[in-house]
Amino acid sequence: MAVLALILVALIALEHVYILVLEMILWTTPRGMKAFGLKPDQAAQTRVMAANQGLYNGFLAAGLIWSLIHPDAAVAFQLKLFFLGCVVVAGLYGGATASRKIFVIQALPAAIALVAVLLVS
């Protein structure tokens, strides 16, 4: 179960690296616009805002990666709880205010990872 929890945390970190790439690099490309349901003019007008959001997603990914490599198990556990909790909150807020799809894409996987981490503690 501990290995599964680590894999889930790593997957959430990778998801947020991917979101960073979508928001900071691919926002105005066909792939980025498709992912967020944007038209070219919308993507161009919101490019700077999206890059800022991408940076925050990068911070979430960095924190989760840090939690996976920290040598002190107690600190690593606390980091996992904190950063997974941040992802869950961000996913709940995004799902309530931007798109319900965010509940499924962001909040639910992070909540599952959070439960897995708590179960192995």
Q: What is the pLDDT of residues 30-88, one digit of tens each?
A: 999 999 999 999 999 999 999 999 999 999 999 999 999 999 999 999 999 999 999 99
CB-based contact 45:120 (threshold 8 Å)? no
Alpha carbons 47 and 41: distance in angstroms, whole number: 10
Return d(Cα 56, Cα 7) in angstroms, integer: 22
Asked whether the predicted pLDDT for residue 121 surpasses 90, the reply is no
Cα–Cα distance, 110 to 94 (Å, whole number): 14
- Say whether 71 sits in a helix, a strand or coil: coil
Averaged pLDDT of the chain: 97
Total count of residues recorded for the chain: 121
Mean pLDDT, residues 20-39: 97
At residue 87, the pLDDT reads: 98
Task: Give the pTM.
Answer: 0.93
Residue with tokens 């439960």: 115
Q: Which tokens belong to 49?
A: 């805002």
